[in-house]
Structure 1
Amino acid sequence: MSENYLVWGPVAEFAGRYSMMNEKGEIVPDPETQQMVKRKLTALRQFFSDNKLLSVEMFEAKGNLIDIAYRRSDFTAEGIELLRRKEGAWLKSKASTKEPPDVKLLEKALAEIRAGK
């Protein structure tokens, strides 16, 4: 397995996969779910950026997400540890779907990591 594996793909690409069946039985984009997924994944990326858990910039000067794929080498050791411990749990939680997403679970886990727990 490659040491520099893919960690996060582009948000738009992932969110674009969400679809639903319309009344005619056709598979069409589900804009409501796509927007929620974009909001959730962007908030996760913002948390990592704000807490210096990456070795690269994820946002442009204007605050727009640089929506590209991020690999293992783009994360700090703390970032990888936080991914391992809590990313999945947070993404599955109701907190991640709030508007704005609630990142308290991530904050608590990061504090534990930084405290050496």
Structure 2
Amino acid sequence: MDENYLVWGEVETLVSAYKLVGGAGSISNDFESQEVVRRMLKALIKYFSDNNLLVEVGQACVGRAYYRNDFTEEGIELLRRKEAAWLKSKASKKNPPDMRILEKALAEIRAAK
């Protein structure tokens, strides 16, 4: 298995997957869902950058993909523990997204050191 696997794709590529299917089978962009997902993903990338969970500190960029090697060990641990739960939560869909789930888990990770 490739150790430098893809963790997050480019934000706009992920956002573009959100579509609506009309009554006649027509497909159109789901702009409302796209905006929520864009906001969530941008907040997630910013959170990881602001908390030194990316190897290149201060290099948060929504226009690129993130691979395993882009994350610190703490970043990978936070991904394993809480990223999926946060993405599924109502907190992630708020405007602005509520990061407390991630903050609590990160505090636990750092306290265990």
- TM-score bracket, normalised by the shorter chain, equals over 0.9
What is the one-letter code of the residue matched to 1:19? K
CA deviations over 1:67-88 (Å, ceiling 9, x no partner): 1111111000000000000000
Matched position secondary structure for 1:53: coil
Whether the 8 Å CA contact 1:58–1:66 is kept in 2: the answer is no
Residue 84 (structure 2) aligned to one of 64, 85, 88:
88
Q: Take 2:67 and 2:74, find their aligned partners in 1: how far apart are those partners?
A: 15
Note the residue ranges of structure 2 that are not aligned, 5 or more in a row.
Answer: none
CA distance in 2, matches of 1:30, 1:22: 11
Helix, strand or coil: the match of 1:20?
strand
Using the size of structure 2 for normalisation, the TM-score is 0.93
2:95 corresponds to which of 86, 89, 99: 99
* Cα distance in 1, alignment partners of residues 3 and 23 from structure 2: 46
- Contact 1:45/1:58 (8 A) holds in 2: no
User: How far 1:24 sits from its partner (Å)?
Assistant: 4.4
The count of aligned residue pairs is 112
Q: Please give the root-mean-square deviation of Cα atoms over the aligned residues, in Å.
A: 1.3
Q: TM-score, normalised by structure 1?
A: 0.90
Using the aligned pairs only, state the percent identity. Answer: 58
**Structure 2 counterpart of 1:62:** none
Q: Distance in 2 between matches of 1:114 and 1:45?
A: 19
Post-superposition offset of 1:58? 3.4
Return 5+ residue gaps in structure 1 as ranges. Answer: 60-64
Residue 58 (str. 1) matches residue 41 (str. 2): no
